[in-house]
Amino acid sequence: MKKLLFIFLIGQLVLLSYIFNKSVYDIYELNNLGDPSLEGYIIEAVSGNELNGLYNEFDDYCLSKQACRLQLVKTPVSENNTFVYEIYHSQMEDLNKPQSISSDTVFSYHGLTKEEFVDSSGVFYTDLPPETLQGFADGLGISIERHSNNIAYDQIAKNNILNFAVLLILTQLVLFIYTFTRIKVNAIKKMLGYSNIDMIKASLKDFLKMETIIVITTIALHLGYYAAIGNVVPRYFLLLGAFSLSVVLLNLALLLVTQISLRFIDINLMVKNKVYSNRSNMALHVVKVSLILAITLSVSAFIKTYQDYQKTSQELEQYSQLEGYFTSNGYNFDEDSRARRNLDLLAAYGNSIEEMVDFFDEKGQLYVNDAYVLELLSPTYLEIHGLTEEDIYNSIEENYIVANERYIQEFMKLKDPAGKVLENFQSEEPALLVPAKYKDQESTVKKFYIKQYNDLLNYNEFFGLKKAEKEGISDLDIVYIADDQEYELLGQTVSGESDISKLKNSIVLIDKGDFGSLYYYDLLNRGDIYFKLKERDEFNQALAQYQLSSLVNAGTLLTPYMDKLHFTEFILDNLLVFTVLFLFTLLFVMYISNYVDVVSNSKRYAIQYMHGFSIAKMFNPQFMVWLVLLTAISLKLFIEFNVLVYLSMLVLDLLILLYLYRKVIQTNIHEVIKGG
pLDDT exceeds 70 at position 595: yes
Of the ranges 9-23, 175-189, 505-519, 628-642, the best mean pLDDT one: 505-519
**43 CB contacts (<8 Å, ≥6 apart)?**
50, 51, 54, 122, 124, 142, 143, 144
Tell me the C-alpha distance between 75 and 553, whole Å: 11
Tell me the C-alpha distance between 566 and 556, whole Å: 15
SS3 50: helix
115, containing H or E segment: helix 114-118
pLDDT higher at 428 or 568: 428
* Residue-level pLDDT at 497: 41
Considering only 199-208, 257-266, 301-310, 367-376, which range has the smallest mean pLDDT? 257-266
**94 CB contacts (<8 Å, ≥6 apart)?**
none
* Residue-level pLDDT at 243: 95
Q: Which of 36, 150, 34, 151 is nearest to 98 (CA)?
A: 34
* pTM attached to this predicted model: 0.59
pLDDT exceeds 80 at position 515: yes
pLDDT exceeds 90 at position 160: no
The pairing of beta strand 82-89 with beta strand 105-111: parallel
* Residue-level pLDDT at 81: 56
Tell me the C-alpha distance between 143 and 449, whole Å: 42
The 10 Å Cβ neighbour count of residue 523 is: 22
Mean pLDDT of the chain, nearest integer: 82
* Residue-level pLDDT at 539: 85
Tell me the C-alpha distance between 72 and 92, whole Å: 12
Average pLDDT value for residue range 193-211:
83
For the stretch 275-289, pLDDT in tens is: 555 666 676 677 777
The pairing of beta strand 400-404 with beta strand 507-511: parallel
Three-point CA angle 661, 271, 594, nearest 5°:
20
Q: Burial-class residue 411 by CB neighbours within 10 Å (0-12, 13-18, 19+).
A: buried
* Residue-level pLDDT at 312: 64
Three-point CA angle 160, 163, 169, nearest 5°:
135
Long-range CB pairs of 422-428, under 8 A, 24+ apart, other chains included: 422/479, 422/481, 425/479, 425/510, 426/479, 427/477, 427/479
For the stretch 126-147, pLDDT in tens is: 999 999 999 999 998 888 989 8
Average pLDDT value for residue range 170-190:
72
Instruction: Please report which confidence band the pLDDT of residue 498 belongs to, taking 50, 70 and 90 as the band edges.
Output: very low
SS3 487: strand
pLDDT exceeds 60 at position 271: no
What percent of the chain clears pLDDT 90, i.e. is strictly above it?
Answer: 29
pLDDT exceeds 60 at position 404: yes
Q: Tell me which amino acid residue 303 is.
A: I
pLDDT exceeds 80 at position 110: yes
**532 CB contacts (<8 Å, ≥6 apart)?**
324, 325, 326, 364, 365, 366, 367
- CB crowding 209-240: b at 16 or more within 10 Å, else e: ebbeebbeebbeebeeebeeeeeeeeebeeeb
Average pLDDT value for residue range 433-442:
94
pLDDT exceeds 90 at position 613: no
Q: Burial-class residue 41 by CB neighbours within 10 Å (0-12, 13-18, 19+).
A: buried
* Residue-level pLDDT at 444: 94
* Residue-level pLDDT at 443: 93
Average pLDDT value for residue range 238-265:
85
* Residue-level pLDDT at 500: 46
pLDDT exceeds 60 at position 222: yes
Average pLDDT value for residue range 436-441:
94
Paired residues of 368 in beta bridges: 529
Tell me the C-alpha distance between 327 and 333, whole Å: 16
